[in-house]
Every structure is written in structure tokens, then in C-alpha cells.
Structure 1
Amino acid sequence: MNKAATATGAEGSAILKWTATVGLLIVVAIPCLFIVIQAIFPNIGSGSFAAPFSLFIKTLADPSLLGLAGNTLTLGVGTVVCAAIVALPLAALRALFRVPGALIWDALLLIPFMIPPYIAALGWIMTLQPHGYLEQLTGVNLAQLLFSVPGIMIIMGLNTFPVVYFVLSRTFETVGARYADVGRVFGAGQWRSFARITFPLAMPGLAASLLLVFAMSIEEYGTPAALGRRIGFEVLVTGIENRISEWPIDLPGSATLSLVLVLMALVAFMLQRWLLTRRDYRIIGGKPQASDKRELGIWALPATLLFGFVAFLATGLPILAILATALSRTISGGLTLSNMGTDNFAELLNTGSDGLVAMGNSLALGITTALLAGLMGTITAYAVVKGRGRFRIILDALSITPNALPGVVVAVGIILAWNQPWLPITPYNTPFILLLAYCCILLPQPVRYATASLHQLGDNLEAAARVSGSGPLMAFRRIVLPLILPSMITAMILVFAVASRELVASLLVAPIGFQTIAVFIWQQFDQGSMGLGMAMAFCAVLMTTLIPLALISILRWATKGTVSGLH
């Protein structure tokens, strides 16, 4: 019986392994491979391998590439600095002191991360542009700051600083104040103890979060396109989009720029690894660590005002600008009661309208992507965690590869892979191409969630099921899947939230005439219909924030109810 169960289990594992392999090849490996092939062989579209590296070398020798790469690096580093300046004091206060209303501030500071960057950028444009809301209310015009490189960095920093804030506050919390107290006993002042002891011990969390901010910044399309193009500030992402969308189309050039962008992200990762291997940051021993947060005393009010100011800038101001524009009948009418109404929302939600169709398309794509990516992620994670042999390492590497690929690079790979004239059948120019792009970009999330859950499950449950006569697939469906389902539902909710608002892949690979929420908003701004675009943006923010939060709350309630029922 045991030998039969073992043989059946091996057969079932093989089925899941090959299912994961085929899925990863289609969704991840083939697009990545075609980026490299197209960069090396410029005529591969016509079935020719002639003149290898000819356009690759030409693109690398193009003087404009140095400018694009330099601007990308400048934007990434500048955004990291801005995000760190905002997040560092807030994280230190939150972790080391008792901040009034700490949980409320956490919730408010999480919202900027839930607002798509391009929507936040459009809100800032409506606020700070000439005759914008700030000038109407105060007479102050900050358009010169808005349409500048430092302005772009500040706006992107306000959108990404929650990544640093939440990671760093938890890291500071782990370090605590006791090590700094030792330094103060030996004569160091409060600031010197923090700078020389607490801050260096938090370096792993800081490096990881800043690397993520850098990667998010160099792959962001919406904000540089909306603001940078007005001042001639082009980055690699917009340069790639220009080579794909403007005539003459330069697919080899876009593939080469994509490789440069990926290389930049990998260098940043290597730099992080180098920084973290230079010192020993271990602080957790065998003894329990007590919480030792201090009272702020007279600094309670200034700290609260600081949290409130940042929350207003990062959360309140963009949302108010979006809502004000959405409620304005005409932009020229300004912020007057007579100019306010729900006309844009009525037009947007009118039966059969383009906006309603776009919302339906995004909802359908978001749900389908969540289900497909969740299923693929679960199968892939199972093949990696429960599988045997070195092949599972390859599967694991493929599953996390999209983390190193900006969305624009994925879009380029999808176009190159599925727009070849010799293909007998292709999903290109159909909604399925968007589904492939979204799944590739978002697959790492469910894979990581499923991997973490599977590592907590022993092998005895499946073994007992197989000995009792269940096949491996039935054991997977009836035992493993229900046990990891809560984690997978959470991952799929996050996938839905991102997929339903994704911009750059939607702009590049969406079929002609097929609109999503992001494409609709972008087109309305290009056409000058700011009110209608912002009405859609406000609905998108509500949809991608409230729906996931509501579903997560329902999931937690259901889980608690199940646990109570078992007791």
C-alpha cells in the first residue's frame, strides 16, 4: 500500500509540476526570451536571424540612451531620498514612542499606496497647475515646482513613502530603545545614540524598502509621462513606450532599452545585498523582548501635527483634487458652488457609456486575473515546496522573475512574443493578451503567499489521504487547497486591486477600441475631458480600495467564525 501510494504521489506531483512548467513558460519565460531574441536578432519578426547584434549595438551607442538612463537613475535615487526623508522620522516616532492615534495614522498613510500613481499625479496637476485649485484658494502658484524634476521626485516620494514607513517602523520596533539606552549610559546624547546604534541596526529593513521604492520609481510610467514630458524629461520607461507607439516602430530598440532597465534593477538588488553582508545585524536572541515605547511629553502635539501634515499631503490633497475635478461641470468654472454637480458621474455611469464599459472590462479582467494567477501561483508553489529535484529551483526562479521586470518590459515581451507574423494563432489584439500581461506582472504575489502557507503544512496529511485511497490530485483539492485558501484569497484580492487599475501594460497591449479604467482615464486627459476622467479616477480609487478591504474583513470574520465553531 505504501509503495502504491508513493508511486501515485510521484505521478500526481509530476502532473502538478508539468502544469506549473507549461504555465510559467507561456506567461513568463516566452515573453522574457523574446525580449532577448529581438534585441539580438532585429529581423526575427520576418523569420531571419541575419545581422545579429547590429541594432543592439546601435541602440547602446545612441547618445540619447545615456540621457534616458541618467534621467531614470536620477529619478529613482531622488524618489528614494524624498521617500526616506518623509518616512524616516514618522517611522521612528511610530515605533519608539506612543503616538496619539497611531492606528488611525497607519490607516491614513496606507491609502497613498492604494491610489494608482498616475491618478495621484493627475490630482497634483489639477491642484498646482496655473489657475489650479491652490492658486484659486490662496493665490499661490507652484506650477514651476510641479513641472520640474524635483517636483516629480516629491510627488513620487509621497506616493511610495508608505513602503518605507511600514517596513522601517516595524524594524525600529524590533530594535527597540534599549540599545540606545546603553549608549546613553556611556555618555552619548539621545540623537547620537539613535544615529550610531538604533539607525544602523535598522539597516536591513531600510535597504529592502528603499530598494523596492527605487524599483517602483524606475518602472513607473504614469507620473513621468504626465509631468516629465511637459519639460522634456524622458526616462527609460517613456523611451520604451515611444519606440513602440510612435512611427517608425522600433521593436529591437525597445527590447534593448528593456534589458537596460532590467539590468538597472538587478544592479540595485546587488548593491542592497552588498550593503547587508558587510555587517552583522542580528539583534534577536533567546530572551523575549519587551515593548519599551516612550511617552512623547511636550512633543506629542508637534508629532501629531507632523503626521497630520503628511497624511494631508499624501492622502487628503490628491483625493480632494480628484473629487473636486470630478464634481466640476467645467474646469474653467473653478471652485464655485454653481460649478459643482454630479454631471460627470451621471455621464460616466449612464447605461451603455464608454466609461461603464471600461469599468466592466476592468472588473472582468481583474477577477479573471485574480483567479488565474491564484490557481497558477498555488500549483507553482506546491510544485516548488513539495517537489523533488533541482528542477523546482528553476520553477521558483521563473515564478519570481516578474518581480525584477517593470510593467513596461513585460508589455514589450508580450508584444514581441505574440505579435510574430508566422504564428498560426495568437491572443494578440484580443482581451486575452491583457490577461497574459496582468498574470505575468502579478504572479509573484500568489506564489509567495502560497509558498509561505505550504511551508507550514506537514506531509502527513497528504500521506494519510493517499494511504486511504485518495489520488494525489484529490488530496491536493480536498486537503491542501482548503488549508491554504485563506492566504490565497488575500493574495487574489491584492491581485484584483492592482490588475483592475494597471496602466502601462493596458496602454501598450490593449486591443484597438478596448478600454480599461486606466486607458479611459488617460484618454480623457489627452482629450481635455478632465472632469470625466477624474470621475472615473474617483470610482477607481473607491473600487480598488473599498472592495479589497471589505473582502478582507469578510474573510477575517468568516475565519474567526469557523475557529469559534470548531471550539
Structure 2
Amino acid sequence: MRQSATWKNKGILWILLVILAGLIVCPLIMVFAEAVIIDGRLDLHQAWSIIADSENLQTIWNSLLLGVCVVLCSTVFAAPTAYLLARTQLARHKWLDIVFMVPFMTPPYIASMGWILFMQKRGLFQQLFPFTGSFSEGFFSFGGLVLVMSLHVFPFMMTILKNAILNIPASLEEGGAVFGAGFGLRLRKIFAPLLTGNFAIGALLVFVKTLSEYGTPYTLGRRIGFYVFTTDIHRYSTTAPVDFGRSASLSSVLICICMALWLLQNYITNRNSYRLVSGKGSRPARTTLSGAGLAAAWIWVVLVILVAIGIPYFSIIATSLIKLRGYGLAAGNFTLEHYVELFTTSRSLEAIGNSIFLAVSSATICSVLGTIVVSAVRRGKGLLKKLVEGISLLPEMLPGIVLIIGIMLFWNAIYQVIPLYNTMGIMVLAYVVLYLPYTVQYVTSSFTQINDSLLQAGRTFGGSPFYVFRRVTLPMISKGILTGWMMIFIIAFRELVTASLIAPPNVLVVSTYINREFEQGSVSLGMAMAVLCVLITTTALLIMNAVTEREKK
């Protein structure tokens, strides 16, 4: 019986391996093949000459420079905020943790548009502060691009550093104080070494996220003539004359950089980690700030919230309510007509409907496929198990735009066999490829909390594997499946790069609708859709949190 179940599970793993290879591996192979096969023959020299072209070298340099600067700027925001939320009286205010996740949950292209509307010539800043003249227009520079991208990713680094600080026992810091070490010395000799590994992980993840980001470089970077990997890959793939060779070459370089950084992260994680949490109890340390220190801490927190959330959201909401842009924020120039238009015109309703369809269908398919993958991997052994698990998580390690280019090349090549390209089906498939790792990770996390004795008890009393899965396993992992489903829905609903590359002709989703209205001058209508997008995704997030909290009780 057990041997039969083992062979059945091996068969499932082989089927999954074939499916995942077709969805993920084959598109990646097509990217490399397009880069090195010129006119039907292998030509590494030509491929290298494309990469070594001065324009492409400038793109590579721009991307790496932007990544380094965003890491540095994110650290400036993240490190002090993490310390304040972990060690001082501000740690009591748990609502701050939720507030600081808002910038990370806000679509980058929407936040960028908010900053553009606020800082541009005759923008909201100049209307509010006319005495400043053209001061705000200096924002449209490399520094402005770094600032906007840093404000999106710094919560990620902040969370990593905060959790690491919380794990540092109070006894270590108190020991340093007893031996006469001041705050600065304790920070340098105790905190810095213990946080090195976590900071390196956060910095590498922020760097990879910056290299992979498309929304902000597309909306803001193009305005200042600063092109990076993602914008050039998109340009070569969509703008005549289309050059998939150049696009694939840049994609190949980006893949190599990202994979090297992931390997470096794993190396750092294994080499620079400290076991600070053990079975022995420890109390959290608290630094009691003086009245002036506490006031300064609140000023810093409010300032960060104002810059990261207040300015872009004020711009987006205010613009969505303005009737005539020429009159700006003048009294009587506000209206809800743009919101009414969203729900009364076929173009906007179609975009909303398409986004909901893509988000629901991709989240559902990912939930089913990801649960099957995790279930089979948990019962499997050996190399086959590792291959299936590794391929299912591979999209998380790579920039989305690279996978989309691979999907375009692969499914266009087999169009005569499977005519999926240039249909809504290819968009659903692309979303599934991009977001499958979310389900795999959430379901795997739920599986780790299940004791094997429960499953063995079910089998001992005569339950078939399917019965045990349905009555024992599924109820216990349902929370992880639901959480993964909601996260995929939220991210897929606002997805930009996939829709802008492979959407069929005349098919709009929420993100491309916003982008088109913004570029064509109907800015207020585009911002009304942006507000609606944020409201829908925020509502979904609140529902997910409510369900999670109820499950805990």
C-alpha cells in the first residue's frame, strides 16, 4: 500500500515537473536562446557586442547606480525608524507598523504619479506655496527618482531591521552600559555587528527589488531621460522597430545579476547569523526617551509618514476631485464627476472587469496548483522533489519583466500548436507564473505547523490519502491558502508590466487605464481610477487581516 502511494506521488511530481517546466523553465531558456542565437546560429560574439554597446552599457550602469543609491537612501529612512519602533516608547503604538506598510502596498507607478503631480511646474506644491517659485521642479532629477523608489521599499528593510533589533536581548546592551559604554559606542560595538547579516539581507533584497522595478522608472525615470534595465527591455519589446535580441540580451544580464545576488544573500545568511533566541527567557529592552527625545522621535515619524504617504496620496486624491486643471485647488473647482464617469463609461468598466477577472482567476489557479505542489513535495523525496520545489519558487528570484519577455517568446514560437498568445488566456498564464511562489510559500508555512501524527492517525483508521487530505490537511492549511489567494488578488489587480507587454489589442486593465489617461492628459480621470484601485486592494487587505485575526481566536 505504502509503495503504491509512493509511486503515485512520484507520478504526480513528474506531471508537476513537466507543467512547471513548460510554464517557467522553457520561457527562461527562450530568453537566453534569443540572446545568443543570431539568424539561426549560435553567435556569442554578436550577443556580446549587443551587450557591450555603449547605450546598453549606460543602461547597466544606470541600473546598478540606482540600486546602490536606493539602498543607501532606504537605510536612512529605515534604520532610525526601526530602532524607534523596536526600542523606545513608540513600540507601544502597534498601529504604526500598519501605517508604515502603506507605502510598500501602494503601487509604485501610482505613488510616482502622485509625486509628479505635486512637484511639476504649476503643480500642487507651487499652488500651495507660490512664493517658492520653481524650487519644486528640481525634484525631476536622479535624486528625485532615488527618493521616490526608496520611499516604496524602505518599509521592507525597516521590518527586517526591527525584527532583528527585537531579538537582541536586553542583557547585551545593559552589559555594555554597565562597563561604561555610551549609546554611540553600544550602537557601534553591539548593535552594528549583530545587525550586519540582517542589514545585508535587507540591502540585497532592496537592490534586487530596485533592479526589477518597472513602474517608477517608467513614469518618472523617462521624464528625466534616465533609462534602466526594465524600461529599456520594455522599449525594445514594444517600440518599433521591435528588437527582441536586444531585449533578451539585457534580460539575460539582469537574470545573471539577480541570481548572483540571491546566492550572495544565502552566503551572508549562513555566514553572518547569530543565535540570539534560545529556550532561555529574555525580556525586551526599552530605551526611555526624555521629553525632548520623544518629541524628536515623533517629529521624525510624522515627517517620514508625511513624505512617504501624505504627499502622494494628497496629490492623487486632490487631482481626482479637480474639475478643471487650469484652476487647480481653487474653491469651487472640485467635483465627483470623474468617479461617476468611471462607473458609467464602458471603457473604464471594462478595465475594472478585466482586472477583477485576471486577479480572481490567477489567484484561484495559483491556489490550486500551489497547494498540489506543496502537498506532493511534502510527501516526496530526493532530487525530483527538490526540482519541483525549486522551479515553483524560481519566479520570486527573477524580475517579472524577464519572465514576461520569455513567455512572449515561447508562446509566440508555439502559436501554431497552442494559439494562446495574444488572448486573455496568455495574461492569466503570465499572472500564474509570476505569483505561484506566494501560494507555495504560504501553504508551506501552514504545512510546517501540522504534526505528522495527525496524518498518520487518519491513515491508521482506514482513511484514504484523499480523505485524509480533505478532512485533516485541507482544513489546517486553508488559512495559508486563503492568505496566499488574497495577496495574489491584491498584487494581480494592480499589475502593470504584464498588462503593458502582453495584453491583447484594445484590452485595458486598471493599471494600463491609469497610465493611458495620465499620459494622454485626462489626469483627473486616471487618478480617480488610482483611488479606486487603492480602495479595492486595501479593502481586500483588511478582509484578509480580519479573517486571520478571527482564525487566531
TM-score > 0.5, shorter chain as reference:
yes
Q: Give SS of 1:550's match.
A: helix
CA contact (8 A) 1:24 1:398 kept: yes
CA contact (8 A) 2:66 2:146 kept: yes
The aligned residue for residue 35 of structure 1 is 31
- Aligned counterpart for 1:91 among listed residues 70, 82, 99: 82
Using the TM superposition, name which of 146-155 and 352-361 deviates more. 352-361
AA partner of residue 67 (structure 2): G
The aligned residue for residue 552 of structure 1 is 545
1:469–1:426 Cα change, 3 Å: farther
Task: After TM superposition, give the deviation of residue 78 of structure 1 in Å.
Answer: 0.8
CA contact (8 A) 1:363 1:500 kept: yes
CA contact (8 A) 1:123 1:321 kept: yes
The aligned residue for residue 398 of structure 1 is 391
CA contact (8 A) 1:147 1:230 kept: yes
Q: Does 1:283 align with 2:279?
A: no
- Aligned counterpart for 1:169 among listed residues 150, 162, 172: 162
The aligned residue for residue 343 of structure 1 is 337
Task: After TM superposition, give the deviation of residue 560 of structure 1 in Å.
Answer: 4.9
The aligned residue for residue 405 of structure 2 is 412
Within 5 Å, which residues of 2 pair with 1:26-425? 26-43=22-39, 49-53=40-44, 55-99=46-90, 102-139=93-130, 140=132, 141-276=134-269, 279=272, 281-298=274-291, 299-350=293-344, 352-420=345-413, 423-425=416-418
Q: Give SS of 1:339's match.
A: coil
Using the TM superposition, name which of 542-551 and 88-97 deviates more. 542-551
Q: Give SS of 1:337's match.
A: coil
CA distance in 1, matches of 2:415, 2:301: 58
AA partner of residue 174 (structure 1): N
CA contact (8 A) 2:255 2:399 kept: yes
CA distance in 1, matches of 2:509, 2:296: 43
AA partner of residue 326 (structure 1): S
CA distance in 1, matches of 2:458, 2:170: 50
Q: Does 1:13 align with 2:9?
A: yes
The aligned residue for residue 46 of structure 1 is none
AA partner of residue 369 (structure 1): S
Query: Normalization by structure 2: what TM-score?
Result: 0.95
Task: After TM superposition, give the deviation of residue 462 of structure 1 in Å.
Answer: 3.5
1:279–1:205 Cα change, 3 Å: closer
The share of aligned pairs that are identical, in percent, is 33
CA distance in 2, matches of 1:386, 1:425: 33
Task: After TM superposition, give the deviation of residue 52 of structure 1 in Å.
Answer: 3.6
1:129–1:392 Cα change, 3 Å: same
CA distance in 1, matches of 2:450, 2:548: 21
Task: After TM superposition, give the deviation of residue 55 of structure 1 in Å.
Answer: 4.0
CA distance in 2, matches of 1:512, 1:117: 25
CA contact (8 A) 1:23 1:376 kept: no
| Cα displacement string for residues 130-153 of structure 1 (whole angstroms, at most 9, x for unaligned residues) | 111111001234444321111100
AA partner of residue 20 (structure 1): L
CA distance in 2, matches of 1:548, 1:422: 38
| Cα displacement string for residues 349-392 of structure 1 (whole angstroms, at most 9, x for unaligned residues) | 11x52111111111111111111111111111122222122111
Q: Give SS of 2:41's match.
A: coil
Task: After TM superposition, give the deviation of residue 422 of structure 1 in Å.
Answer: 5.8
CA distance in 2, matches of 1:16, 1:549: 36
How well do the aligned residues superpose, as a CA RMSD in angstroms? 1.9
CA contact (8 A) 1:453 1:484 kept: yes
Q: Does 1:505 align with 2:501?
A: no
CA contact (8 A) 2:170 2:283 kept: no
CA distance in 2, matches of 1:464, 1:206: 44
Q: Does 1:22 align with 2:18?
A: yes
AA partner of residue 107 (structure 2): P
CA contact (8 A) 1:39 1:55 kept: no
CA distance in 1, matches of 2:451, 2:62: 50
AA partner of residue 186 (structure 1): F
Q: Give SS of 1:175's match.
A: coil
Query: Normalization by structure 1: what TM-score?
Result: 0.93
Q: Give SS of 2:94's match.
A: helix
Q: Give SS of 1:130's match.
A: coil
AA partner of residue 440 (structure 2): V
Task: After TM superposition, give the deviation of residue 199 of structure 1 in Å.
Answer: 2.3
CA distance in 2, matches of 1:7, 1:274: 38
AA partner of residue 17 (structure 1): L
| Cα displacement string for residues 327-366 of structure 1 (whole angstroms, at most 9, x for unaligned residues) | 011222201221101011111111x521111111111111
> Where does the alignment leave 5 or more consecutive residues of structure 1 unmatched?
44-48, 562-567
Q: Give SS of 1:335's match.
A: coil
CA distance in 1, matches of 2:197, 2:546: 31
CA distance in 2, matches of 1:474, 1:31: 37
CA distance in 2, matches of 1:357, 1:110: 30
Using the TM superposition, name which of 547-556 and 198-207 deviates more. 547-556
1:191–1:177 Cα change, 3 Å: farther
| Cα displacement string for residues 430-489 of structure 1 (whole angstroms, at most 9, x for unaligned residues) | 111111111111111111111122223233443444454443334323322221111111
CA contact (8 A) 1:385 1:455 kept: no
Q: Give SS of 1:165's match.
A: helix
Task: After TM superposition, give the deviation of residue 63 of structure 1 in Å.
Answer: 1.4
AA partner of residue 307 (structure 2): L
CA contact (8 A) 1:429 1:511 kept: yes
Task: After TM superposition, give the deviation of residue 215 of structure 1 in Å.
Answer: 1.2
CA distance in 2, matches of 1:252, 1:328: 44
CA contact (8 A) 1:55 1:252 kept: no
> Where does the alignment leave 5 or more consecutive residues of structure 2 unmatched?
none
| Cα displacement string for residues 491-537 of structure 1 (whole angstroms, at most 9, x for unaligned residues) | 11111100110111110011111111111011111211100110000
Task: After TM superposition, give the deviation of residue 66 of structure 1 in Å.
Answer: 1.1
AA partner of residue 152 (structure 2): N
Using the TM superposition, name which of 91-100 and 149-158 deviates more. 91-100
CA distance in 1, matches of 2:348, 2:19: 33
Task: After TM superposition, give the deviation of residue 194 of structure 1 in Å.
Answer: 1.0
CA contact (8 A) 2:86 2:162 kept: yes
AA partner of residue 113 (structure 2): L
Within 5 Å, which residues of 2 pair with 1:440-479? 440-479=433-472
CA distance in 1, matches of 2:272, 2:517: 52
Within 5 Å, which residues of 2 pair with 1:471-550? 471-550=464-543
AA partner of residue 226 (structure 1): T
CA distance in 1, matches of 2:144, 2:342: 31
Using the TM superposition, name which of 275-284 and 390-399 deviates more. 275-284
Task: After TM superposition, give the deviation of residue 87 of structure 1 in Å.
Answer: 0.8
AA partner of residue 284 (structure 1): V
CA contact (8 A) 1:381 1:451 kept: yes
AA partner of residue 345 (structure 1): Y
CA contact (8 A) 2:367 2:439 kept: yes
Using the TM superposition, name which of 521-530 and 292-301 deviates more. 292-301
Aligned residues: 550
